Structures are given as C-alpha cells and as structure tokens.
Amino acid sequence: MKSLEIRNLQKTYFDPYAGTKVTAVQDVSLDIREGEFVSVVGPSGCGKTTILNMVAGFLPATGGEIRVGGRPVKGPGADRGVVFQSFALFPWKTVLDNVGFGPKMRGVPKAERDRIAREYLALAGLSHAADRYPNELSGGMQQRVGVVRALANDPDVLLMDEPFASVDAQTRMTLQEELTRIWQEKQHTVLFITHDVGEAVFLADRVVVLSKGRVMRDIPVTLPRPRVWDEVTEDEDFKRLSAEVLHMVRAA
Amino acid sequence: MATAELGAARLGPSRAMRRVVGAVTFLLPLLCLFLLWPVVTTAFDVNPRVFPGVGMVWAALVESVRDGSLFAHIGASLGRVLVGTALGILVAVPLGIAMGVSSGISTFLTPLFRFFSVLAGIAWIPIATLWFGYGFGAITFVIFNAVFFIVTYNTLLGVSAIPMRLRHAAASLGAGRRAMLTEVLLPGALPNIVTGIRTGLGFAWRGLIAAEMIATNVGLGYMLFVARDFYRTEVIVLGMIVIGALWLLIDRLLLAPLERATIERWGLVTRS
Ligand SMILES: Nc1ncnc2c1ncn2[C@@H]1O[C@H](COP(=O)(O)OP(=O)(O)OP(=O)(O)O)[C@@H](O)[C@H]1O
Ligand SMILES: [Mg+2]
C-alpha cells in the first residue's frame, strides 16, 4: 500500500460561457498514511469531487502537489482505483467482464480473472448478475459493481466518490460493513467522499470536513474495529462524533 | 444463474413470436402489391410497352436465370458494393476514431462531414467518371465515397459521445493507449458505426445503380438501362424488383440485426 500526500492543492476552473474563473479548491493539504481510511465530508459544491479527480489524475491541478507513495501524480494509473459517483460501468461488457477489466489490463489470463471477478461479485451479493449487462441492473446493483470493479484490481489507494449514494438504506449498511471488513483485510489507503455524516464516521479513521475549498476540521475516529452497525449505532462516542461533524458541516 | 436462465426462457418464445409478427407485418403490404399487379394489368388491359404483366416478368426471370445473365449482373453489383464498402469502412473507422478523441478536431470537422454526407453517392458520379474513366474504378469510388463520409461522421459522433468518465475509468484500471482503443473507443462507438454503415450502404446502393447505368457494361443498373433501349419493360421491372429485394434482404437480414444486437443489448441509444 502507499501513502497519499496532498500539499496546498488548488484548482481554478475557467467558465468559458460566463468568462469568469471559479475557484473550486482554494488550498487543501491532507496526508493519508498507508492503510489509513479517511472520509471527506462537506456541503455540495465545496470541491470534493474536484479533489478526487485531481488525485485520480483525471484533472490537472492549478497549484500544489499530490504524491502517491512519494511519487508525484502525473495522470491516471492502476495504483489508484476509482469508484465513480456515476458508476461509469462499460455498457458493452458484462458485469463479469467489467469487474475483470483491471486484471485483464494487467495481463491476467481469462480463467484466472474470471475467478477473481466471481470472488468479488460474491462478496457484494452479485453472483447471479455476472452474465448480465449493466443496463439490465438496478442503480444500486450498478453502484456495487462499480465498487467491486475497483476492489478487484487491488489498488494501493482507493478513491471513492459517494459510492453508496444510490442504494437503499439497508443495502447501504451491509455494504459499509462489507467495505470495512475488506479494508481491514487488504489495508488499502482510502479517500472516501460522502454527504452522509454517519457513514463518514462509521467507516473512517479520520473525518475531514471541507468548506469552500478548504479543510475546516480534521477529526480522528477511535471507535474499535471491526465495526458493525448494530453495535456502533448504540455507541456513545459514535453519537457524539456524528453530532459534532454534522454540526460542522451545517456551519460550513 | 438460475434466475438468469429462467429470464431467458421466459423471453425466448415471446421474442421469436415478435420476430414472426414483425416479418409478417413487413411482408404483407408487399404481397398485396404483388397480388394487385395482375388484377390491374388485366382489368385495364395495360400495354406491355408501358407496364408488363406478371407472366412476362416471370418469363424474363426464368430466361435470365437460365442463361446466367441475372447472376452475372447481381454478382458484378454485389462485388462492387463489397469492395467499395470494405474500403470505405477500413479507412473511415480509424479516421473517425482519431478525429473523435480530440473534441477540437471533431468540432471543426463535423460540419464538413455533414456536408459531404448529404452529397454521398450519386452526386459524385460525373466527377468520378472524369477521374477514373468508365468501369470498376468509378463505380467503386462512388460506393466508397457514400460509405466513407457517413461512416466517418458516425464514428466521430460515436467516439465523442462516449462519456469521459468511461475513458477515465479505463485509465484508472490500467488501460494504455491500445487497450483504450480496443476496449473503450471501438466498442463505445460501435452502435454508431453500425448505424453509419447501414445508412451509408443505403446511399451506396442507390449510387451503385445510378453509376452502373452510365459507367459500365455489366451490373443491375446496366441491365435496366440496356433493357430500356429495347423496350423490354419486363426486364426493367424484373431488375427493379431484384434491386429492391436484394437491398431489403441485405438491410433486414444483415444490417438491422447487427444494429439491434449492439444497441439493444447494451441499452444504448444512438442517432445517425
Ligand atoms: N468542469 C467544471 N467547470 C467549471 N466549474 C466546475 C467544474 N466542475 C466543478 N465546478 C465547480 O467547482 C465547484 C466544486 O465542484 P465539485 O464537483 O468538486 O463539488 P462537490 O463537493 O463534489 O459537490 P457534490 O457534493 O454536489 O458532488 C462547484 O462550484 C462547481 O460548480
Ligand atoms: Mg461530487
């Protein structure tokens, strides 16, 4: 696994229609240790997706620096797995081939990558959907495939942009528990973006609150692991932390 | 697995049924026209120099099959279409992809390709005969031309319509330039490419018949044109039926299923 360092990151968009500049990210510094799980919360439009896109290498920064494992980010790469807010599944590939895509790019033979893909699909309760095409799945199922596809490529850093936004509450809880379990086993370095304060606290080692393109607060979460909702919901620390974070997000 | 098979079994018969119904609704009007024909020609006692009776056309068919001339014409026409189309696709797809990846280039070239798509086929015949003389070259050029502009334009459209996030997703899963081409750009643009081929071939087929009337001595268009000189209306009508039927066969049995397979299966909607 690798660490992720973000130093004085800045992004200014140019809006060609209005002819004005929009500064989405003012000045963000954030260090994520190897194997650490960090949640980023903040109101809509505060620059969360923009930061993630720069870390993924999809978008050039207008200032600052991003290092993964000590090396500056120069573009997209398989060391950083991305789960997209809008799934981004390949419509022309079956679920199995979508999940096996990363291994295929690494040159893993067909039989082996199918085995890997099936294993991960089973984790997300999607075994029955392996041979279907993405458009034949519900939104929630597509989102799970998106998560599983990133996991199956076993990246050093996982970048997740509201990956559970379009699943129902029950499924979301199951997936959150699944994710912490897989993360504990594989120890990916995770940057997890969400609107959901409870989710942010439940999953993370640290919660970063973002406001208007700046880091407002950085709060450690010391809840014991493994975490399961039945226990965490009742936990006083969880309640206190969630209330605190929620308060800050609303003030942001 | 079990549910997927169940689903397929449930869809199976209804899909086959729909296909049969589709074929019947398509063929019925044609059949009606065919039945109406002898009724009209006998009832109004139509002069065969104006329009032939069914029997005469049938005799023309039997004769041209027996002496092999019909197959020679069909073979020549299909051969030209095959060569022109294959060349057109081979050049158009890579070019369309190269143009589509850069949004600047595609924005600039789109109006040009739209313009030339309108001109596709027939309008190029005069200049084609000047450049290539009469014969295979000029006719193949007309077909190539019809296919080339429309397929390039559609490929370009298809590639630029691939959401950026899919290219990002592929890149972050480790896809290099080559894999990006074969795994994302080509399959992503395929529904548009197929639609382009279907439209382009439609233009090419019309262009072919027109070009063959002018620029050659074998082929379906030539068959029509020569028959006119001898007032052989039954040969002209036979030729027209063959031209129409061949196109419908190619379109319905080859191109439409191909288009359906990509667009329906992937849930993609494309416009040409
Ligand atoms: N391509 C772009 N061009 C111009 N401005 C943009 C662009 N993308 C984002 N922005 C602006 O940058 C700001 C941050 O956007 P971003 O998508 O990073 O927000 P976010 O925190 O992810 O929001 P959400 O929670 O709604 O997903 C917004 O004001 C947005 O309007
Ligand atoms: Mg966002």
Is the pLDDT reported for residue B270 higher than 70? no
Domain boundary among A109, A136, A154: A154
Q: What is the pLDDT of residue B268?
A: 59
At A168, the pLDDT band (50, 70, 90 cuts) reads confident
Q: What is the mean pLDDT of residues A174-189?
A: 90
- Taking residue A112's Cβ as centre, other Cβ atoms within 10 Å add up to 11
Sequence-distant (≥ 6) Cβ neighbours of residue B224 within 8 angstroms: B209, B213, B235, B236, B239, B240, B243
> Do A239 and A172 share a domain, yes or no?
yes
Q: What is the pLDDT of residue B12?
A: 55
Q: Give the A window 88-117 contacts with B, CB below 8 Å.
A: 88-93, 101-102, 105-106
Domains identified in chain A, total number: 2
Distance in angstroms (rounded) separating the CA atoms of residues B32 and B34:
5
What residues in A contact B192, CB-CB < 8 Å?
none
Contact A103, A152 (CB under 8 A): yes
* Per-residue pLDDT tens over the stretch B32-90: 998 999 888 888 888 888 889 888 999 999 999 999 999 999 999 999 999 999 999 99
> Do A121 and A74 share a domain, yes or no?
no
* Per-residue pLDDT tens over the stretch B118-176: 887 788 888 998 999 888 889 999 999 989 999 999 999 999 889 999 999 999 999 99
> Do A242 and A148 share a domain, yes or no?
no
Domain boundary among A154, A189, A213: A154
Residue A228 is part of a domain; what is its CATH number? Answer: 3.40.50.300
pTM for this prediction: 0.83
Pick from B236, B234, B202: which is nearest to B222 by CA? B236
- Six token digits for residue B243: 């031209």
Is the pLDDT reported for residue B256 higher than 90? no
* Per-residue pLDDT tens over the stretch A73-124: 999 999 999 999 889 999 999 999 999 999 999 999 999 999 999 999 998 8
Q: Which domain holds residue A150?
A: 86-154
> Do A169 and A137 share a domain, yes or no?
no
CB contact under 8 A, A90 and B265: no
- Six token digits for residue B79: 């051969």
Cα(B111) to ligand 1 centroid in Å equals 32
Q: What is the pLDDT of residue B267?
A: 65
> Do A40 and A14 share a domain, yes or no?
yes
> Do A142 and A188 share a domain, yes or no?
no
> Do A173 and A100 share a domain, yes or no?
no
Contact B128, B141 (CB under 8 A): yes
> Do A225 and A122 share a domain, yes or no?
no
> Do A47 and A170 share a domain, yes or no?
yes
Backbone phi and psi for residue B190, each to the nearest 5 degrees, phi listed first: -55, -45
> Do A165 and A249 share a domain, yes or no?
yes
> Do A73 and A177 share a domain, yes or no?
yes
Q: What is the mean pLDDT of residues B209-232?
A: 88
* Per-residue pLDDT tens over the stretch A29-46: 999 999 999 999 999 999
Contact A201, A41 (CB under 8 A): no
Q: What is the pLDDT of residue B9?
A: 45
Domains and CATH numbers, chain B: 54-266 (1.10.3720.10)
Distance in angstroms (rounded) separating the CA atoms of residues A139 and A136:
10
What residues in B contact A84, CB-CB < 8 Å?
165, 168-169
Mutate which: A86, A87, A98, A101, vs B, most B CBs within 10 A: A101
Domain boundary among A154, A179, A197: A154
A47 Cβ closer than 6 Å to some ligand 1 atom: yes
Give the ipTM: 0.92
